[in-house]
């Protein structure tokens, strides 16, 4: 079999450096394959819709609960923090900006990375171990088309929409806390939020989640397709995907924010 020097190097996961080579190489190849096959028929629309249901619809409740809690906590923290300086009235402005630009996309993506990343890695990993992926190929069908592309597209559609819902619910939570705890009424909160937020706050927030979705779903598929061994290997793959995705989200969020500051956000 193809076992040249670079193959051996890339397969040696024991060393962190070669593991990075293995991942970046494998991820790039899978990325190219997925993008190429995405344009070629057949197209499995039903599978994409099914994945949107699993990834998007079934995550709504989880996203809403955490977004509500996040919005409430942020309003409380900023409220009591700014009260010392007489800045309670700035809470709607600050909270809405923080939620839309950072907390909404990052929290939602971290949550979904945990739920979806681990789900994809374990599903694909168990299919790989039980030779179902091989069976798919042996029957003349492409696992990239049947598994990877539907999950990738569904994630890229679902993540921004979930973020949109999370932003909305968070703002509602913050508004309720402002009203009940800080004495800021709804009308004032809504007026200040509308005055503060711009459409680019929303679009950059959603753009971030598209990048996160692309990375999380492809990483999870790649790890699943490269799972070797038994049930323990599936567990290891799952953990690896969640950890890697979370790190990626935090690091790439910094660079994306910097990019948006340089290109999209107006100068202060």
Partner 1 sequence: MHSGVEFQVQEGEILGLFGTSGTGKSLILRSIIGLETPDAGEIIFEGKNILGLNERELIPVRKKIGYVFQNGALFDSLTVEENLSYPLQEHTSLSPPEILDKVNDLLEKLDLKGLNDLLPNALSGGMQKRVGLARVLILGPKIILFDEPTAGLDPSNTKRLINIIKNLKKTGMTGIFVTHDIPSAYAITDRIAILHEGKIRALDTTEKIQNSQDTFVQKFTKNSA
Assess 228 for contact with partner 1 (CB under 8 A).
no
Report, in Å, the least distance between residue 216 CB and partner 1: 22
Report, in Å, the least distance between residue 138 CB and partner 1: 4
Assess 230 for contact with partner 1 (CB under 8 A).
no
Indicate the residue among 46 and 84 with the shorter CB distance to partner 1. Answer: 46
Give CA–CA dist 207/223, Å, rounded: 24
Assess 8 for contact with partner 1 (CB under 8 A).
no
Q: Which of 140, 230, 266, 268 contacts partner 1 by CB under 8 A?
A: 140
Assess 131 for contact with partner 1 (CB under 8 A).
yes
Instruction: Give the contacts of 120 (CB within 8 A, at least 6 positions apart).
Output: 151, 217, 220, 221, 224, 241
Q: Tell me which stretch binds partner 1 (CB under 8 A): 140-148, 150-158, 230-238, 246-254.
A: 140-148
Assess 141 for contact with partner 1 (CB under 8 A).
yes
Report, in Å, the least distance between residue 141 CB and partner 1: 5
Q: Tell me which stretch binds partner 1 (CB under 8 A): 134-142, 174-182, 203-211, 258-266.
A: 134-142
Q: Which of 11, 115, 137, 198 contacts partner 1 by CB under 8 A?
A: 137
Give CA–CA dist 68/166, Å, rounded: 8
Assess 198 for contact with partner 1 (CB under 8 A).
no
Question: From the CB of residue 150, how many other CB atoms can be counted at a distance below 10 Å?
Answer: 23
C-beta of residue 97 within 8 angstroms of C-beta of residue 195: no
User: Binding string to partner 1 for residues 74 to 113, with x set by CB under 8 A, is what?
Assistant: ----------------------------------------
Assess 142 for contact with partner 1 (CB under 8 A).
yes
- Give the footprint of partner 1 on this chain (CB under 8 A): 1-3, 40, 42, 130-132, 134-142
């Amino acid at each position: 079999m193809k076992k040249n020097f670079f193959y051996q190097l890339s397969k040696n996961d024991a060393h962190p450096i070669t593991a990075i080579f293995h991942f970046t190489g494998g991820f790039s190849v899978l990325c190219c394959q997925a993008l190429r096959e995405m344009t070629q028929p057949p197209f499995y629309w039903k599978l994409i819709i099914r994945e949107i249901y699993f990834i998007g619809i079934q995550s709504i409740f989880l996203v809403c609960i955490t977004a509500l809690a996040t919005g409430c906590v942020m309003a409380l923290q900023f409220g009591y923090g700014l009260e010392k300086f007489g800045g309670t009235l700035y809470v709607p402005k600050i909270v809405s900006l923080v939620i839309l630009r950072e907390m909404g996309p990052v929290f939602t993506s971290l949550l979904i990375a945990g739920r979806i990343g681990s789900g994809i890695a374990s599903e694909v990993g168990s299919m790989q171990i039980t030779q179902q992926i091989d069976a798919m190929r042996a029957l003349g069908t492409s696992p990239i088309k049947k598994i990877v592309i539907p999950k990738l597209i569904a994630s890229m559609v679902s993540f921004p929409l979930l973020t949109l819902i999370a932003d909305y619910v968070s703002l509602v939570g913050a508004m309720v806390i402002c009203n009940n705890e800080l004495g800021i009424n709804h009308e004032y909160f809504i007026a200040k939020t509308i005055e503060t937020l711009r459409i680019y706050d929303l679009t950059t927030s959603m753009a971030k989640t598209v990048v996160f979705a692309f990375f999380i779903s492809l990483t999870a598929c790649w790890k699943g397709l490269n799972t070797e061994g038994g049930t323990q290997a599936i567990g290891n793959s799952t953990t690896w995907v969640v950890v890697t995705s979370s790190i990626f989200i935090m690091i790439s969020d910094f660079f994306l924010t910097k990019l948006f500051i340089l290109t999209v956000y107006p100068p202060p």
